[in-house]
Amino acid sequence: MKKPIRIGTRESALALWQAQTLQNLLKKKGFKTELVPIKSTGDLDLNQPLYEMGTTGIFTKTLDTALLNDRIDLAIHSMKDVPTLLAEGIQQAAVLTRGPVLDVIVKKSKSDLNNSSTIATGSLRRKAQWLAKYPNHTIVPLRGNIQTRLKKLQEGAWEGAVFAEAALDRLKVNEDNVEVLDWMLPAPAQGALMIVCKSNDLELFNILQELNVEEAALCTKIERDFLRTLEGGCTAPIGAIATIEKDRVHFRGGVFSLNGKEKFTCIESQPVSNAVNLGVELAYKLLQNGAQDLLKEFKSSK
């Protein structure tokens, strides 16, 4: 390509890290790039909880518009923020090497949590699973970028806050009291980065396909298929994780009630060769077993 490739990005430190990571990968292949910072709806409103903002894709729609209006050539997103149905005219071009996938709790002190602890999170998925394990705890909403949320934690009257491990890792945040929540199902595609471009931009698509990591692409497809089939959207209390060991895909997924008292979960392992539709198949099983009622409850409460 003769012109520099214009990379659309949000202005947060984490989004800029993602964009610069892509810049470096393209530079190694001999391409010139430029960053085009764009504010999203999710960045502009930091007070309202994400699940109350009335739409999916609040971190991606502004970049979608810029892409379709030819202000940028591509965008890179935290994949868990991307709606499972992409906007018309936009296609997934690559999934990069996946980072840590689990959630962590950052505690204010080394002390163990007590029976009446208060935990901060803006995620209904995290809230539902936390209350399932700690029904006597109080959950309070938390918004903002990583640095803002960590500052609010230190200033607030809370014992801890939940974050994606990948976010802390990428920004090299060194907190003393961090515990990995290996019992909590992460958001589908958490820790993964998706690159999108226009559907009719075959030249750029072929360039980006060279960056695609097939294992990450398959695992995130399975997880996002699970979410899409459940019709959950990015903010629903749904978790999923797929991993590959040798020639098998191992999957765990679940749907949780908002108060943490009910859940429908599944665990499955299949050969990679048979796993392309695994997310869809397991989602239908959960729906048939009663998960549909939980999702109706979630939608009616919004």
Question: Residue 302: its pLDDT value, please?
Answer: 57
Q: Which of 81, 103, 201, 225 is catalytic?
A: 81
How far is 222 from 251, CA to CA, in rounded Å?
Answer: 9
CATH number at 103-181: 3.40.190.10
Report the mean per-residue pLDDT for the chain: 90
Task: Residue 161: name the closest of 213, 212, 109, 225 by CA.
Answer: 109
Question: Residue 40: its pLDDT value, please?
Answer: 61
Lowest mean pLDDT among 173-182, 232-241, 247-256: 232-241
Is residue 278 scored above 90 in pLDDT?
Answer: yes
Is residue 44 scored above 80 in pLDDT?
Answer: no
Question: Residue 68: its pLDDT value, please?
Answer: 94
Lowest mean pLDDT among 16-25, 138-147, 177-186: 138-147
pLDDT, tens digit, 9 for 90 and up, residues 81-112: 899 999 999 999 999 999 999 999 999 988 88
Per domain, the residue ranges of the chain are 5-98+192-212, 103-181, 228-301
Residues with Cβ within 8 Å of 250's Cβ and at least 6 positions away in sequence, in order, are: 242, 243, 244, 268, 269
Q: Residue 179 CB: number of other CB atoms within 10 A?
A: 12
pLDDT (average), residues 220-247: 90
CATH number belonging to the domain at 228-301, selected among 3.30.160.40, 3.40.50.970, 3.30.2130.30, 1.20.58.100: 3.30.160.40
5-98+192-212 matches 103-181 in fold: yes
The CATH superfamily label for domain 5-98+192-212 reads: Periplasmic binding protein-like II (3.40.190.10)
Q: Does residue 81 have an active-site annotation? A: yes
Is residue 218 scored above 90 in pLDDT?
Answer: yes
Is residue 174 scored above 50 in pLDDT?
Answer: yes
DSSP 3-state of 92:
strand
Is residue 58 scored above 80 in pLDDT?
Answer: no
Is residue 56 scored above 90 in pLDDT?
Answer: no
Question: Residue 126: its pLDDT value, please?
Answer: 96
- Proportion of the chain above pLDDT 90, given as a percent: 75
Question: Residue 130: its pLDDT value, please?
Answer: 97
- Proportion of the chain above pLDDT 70, given as a percent: 91
How far is 213 from 196, CA to CA, in rounded Å?
Answer: 14
